[in-house]
Structure 1
Amino acid sequence: MTVHPSLQPAVDAWTHSAEAILELVRPLAEGDWNRATECPGWSVRDVVSHVIGVESEMLGEPRPIHSLPRDLYHVTDEFTRYMEVQVDVRRCHTALEMSSELDLMIIRRGRQLRNETRSPQTLIRWPLGTSTETTLERTLRYRVFDVWTHEQDLRRALGVPGNLDSPAAVISRDFLLDALPKVVARDAGAPPGAAVVFDVHGPLEFLRTVRVGERGQARIDSHVSLGPTVTLALDWETYARLACGRVRPERAGDRIKREGEPGLAEAILREFAVTS
């Protein structure tokens, strides 16, 4: 048996993005691993440690037994504490140790993904400190999104832009778009009858409209809306940074063009981050 056809694009996208991270960090000097990223409290080394740690858990590796320092300001709850263990345990690792471990993880995880024979709808336990079950397909899509997002964190920290239109970028876009109806209708409180247009340009261009129904339910489509309540025009990288909590709207400056009802536009941007 082979990987289910609906999973193969995500397997390929994960591989492409993970290998891009390895290509980015392998030639780095020791000091470059300490460069700050847009992830609060995390350096280049920490971001790579996070990727290694999560994918190791996806492989079924046991979590390290490790006590965290008490002065990590960015560790604010049980979830961030859970995430930090895999990061902090590697803060003493050298550049060679980091790149070698990442290389080995990619080989092992890639082999696991290529040999995946389960149905996309198979329920699996999400390993990251919860008892939640989700489908194999959604889990893999999330892993693609997470690895690509951290690839972009590293690229910005290192000043090496790229892969904003990669296969993983496309999957990440669709993952983020799934959250838009909730952001607009529930979180930002768009009223019934509202139509909010997102006009995104750059390496990955798309136009989406979120329409709020009479009962407050929202749906998203790619049709042009005449006389929308709000239009937000921005580039794809800014869209992703906002949605991933890497930048606040007030710090994005003139990279966001707002038209229509200003109060609703600001409410949407204020609630735009769906992950961090």
Structure 2
Amino acid sequence: MTQAGVASARTSSEQLADIVPLVDDEQWESPSACKGWRVIDVIAHLAALAHEAVEPPTPDPSWPQVRERYHDMRVDERRGWNHREVIDEWRRYTPRQLELLEAGQKTPQADDPVPVAGLGTYPRHLLANTMAFNVLCHLRYDLLAPQGPLPFTVPAPTDELVAPAVEFMLAGVPQMQGHDLDAAVTEPLVLDLTGPGATTVTILPAEGGHAGLTVTPGALGSTQVHSSAADFICWGTTRTPWREHCEITGDAAVAEPFLDRLDII
């Protein structure tokens, strides 16, 4: 199970809770590093995710099918709220979201497949890692300097924080972009991620038909992409260019099409 995902999500949420009282009204209105969203909009996004986890809405066929546009819609619904209303929603629903994710670690429901619209299907226990990823990524790369506008600091990232977020990202690689990303991998490609959250995996090409990419542990190819795991969270979501963080050994022509197209949501 991914009990570590719950712990990571809880720690990042606590770190965000420590930052929130330090932010003034002008800073809440500042553009975040997440394109099109103010700082307060990032909190609105996390609040919306928590609210939906606790009180799932009835699906509406008119909702955007592209996950990023769906998130924009939810943020737009809250743009008329004042700062306190947005923060209160986040504070009210986040603890309950964590309780649900904790419950999702228990058998037999832990392995139940759960479809996440626009992102793929994941075992229930891995949903904790989605929160770990979301809160860590938005806090450290969209809100806080140097990428974000807020001049506050949090403790350095640890293995316990980063590893669950990276685990979710790697689980999403074969699902989130479909055949567009499949076409970018023609030979085994190794991702060698170092530092906190370190892991090494190989991305194997799709074998045809409806099969997609496969992510498997270990280094099974001669072309390798080397980066820190913490930086992978940044460049793997296209917040910064991969060329600023990655070293390729082997055949760059094998790695570059994948790196150019990868965009984890």
Residue 148 in 1 paired to residue 139 in 2?
Answer: no
Following TM superposition, by how much is the alpha carbon of 1:56 offset from its aligned partner in structure 2, in angstroms? Answer: 0.2
| Runs (5+) with no aligned partner, structure 2 | 59-63
Whole-angstrom distance in 2 between the partners of 1:53 and 1:111 = 16
| Shift of residue 103, structure 1, vs aligned partner | 1.9
2:89 partner amino acid: E
Which of these two proteins has the greater Rg computed from alpha carbons? 1
Percent of matched pairs sharing the same residue: 19
- Report the CA distance between 1:52 and its aligned residue: 0.2
Gaps (5+ residues) in structure 1? 1-5, 64-75
* Whole-angstrom CA distance in 2 between matches of 1:214 and 1:129: 23
Conserved? CA contact 2:201–2:218, under 8 Å: yes
| Amino acid across the alignment from 1:14 | A
2:94 paired residue number? 106
Measured after TM superposition, the shift of residue 178 of structure 1 is 3.0
Instruction: Give the match for residue 204 of structure 1.
Output: 197
| Pair 1:97 & 2:93 matched | no
- Residue 183 (structure 2) pairs with residue 187 (structure 1): yes
- Per-residue deviation at 1:7? 5.1
For residues 129 and 174 of structure 1, the distance between their equivalents in structure 2, rounded to whole angstroms, comes to: 18
SS in 1 for 2:189: strand
TM superposition shift of 1:129: 8.8
> What secondary structure is seen at the aligned counterpart in 2 of 1:37?
coil
Residues 1:223 and 1:234: Cα distance change in structure 2 (over 3 Å): closer
Conservation of the 8 A alpha-carbon contact between 1:37 and 1:44: yes
Residue 18 of structure 1: how far off its partner (Å): 1.9
Contact 1:30 1:94 survives alignment (8 Å): no
Distance 2:246 2:87 in 1: 37
Asked whether the 8 Å contact 2:160–2:197 carries over to 1, the reply is no
For residues 56-71 of structure 1, what are the structure 2 equivalents within 5 Å? 56-60=51-55
Residues 182 and 205, structure 2, Cα contact 8 Å, conserved in 1: no
Match of 1:221 in 2: 217
Kept in 2: contact 1:199–1:208 (CA 8 A): yes
1:270: which partner in 2? 260
What is the TM-score of this pair, normalised by structure 1? 0.72
Q: Which residue of 2 aligns with 1:34?
A: 29
Q: Give the structure 2 partner of residue 241 of structure 1.
A: 234
Distance 1:144 1:256 in 2: 23
- CA gap 1:106/1:206 in 2 versus in 1, 3 angstroms: same
Cα offset for 1:120?
0.6
1:111–1:209 CA distance, 2 compared to 1 (3 A) = closer
**Which whole-Å CA distance do the structure 1 matches of 2:262 and 2:66 have between them?**
23
Identify the match of residue 110 of structure 2 among 113, 116, 120: 120
Cα distance between partner residues in 2 of 1:179 and 1:7: 15
| Number of residue equivalences | 249
Amino acid at match of 1:270: D
Tell me by how many angstroms 1:59 deviates: 0.8
For residues 112-141 of structure 1, what are the alpha-carbon distances to aligned partners after superposition, in whole Å with 9 as ceiling and x for unaligned?
445566621335565x699x8754223333
Q: Distance in 2 between matches of 1:119 and 1:9?
A: 17
Match for residue 25 of structure 1 among 17, 20, 27:
20
Deviation at 1:46, TM superposition (A): 0.8
Q: Which amino acid aligns with 2:218?
A: S
SS at match of 1:120: helix
TM-score (norm 2): 0.74
Residue identity in the other structure for 2:194: H
1:161–1:263 CA distance, 2 compared to 1 (3 A) = farther
Q: Which shifted more, 158-167 or 47-56?
A: 158-167
Residues 179-215 of structure 1, C-alpha deviation per residue, up to 9 Å, x if partnerless? 5578998231324xxx433233333333334455988
Shift of 1:242: 1.9
Separation in 2 of the partners of 1:13 and 1:111? Answer: 13
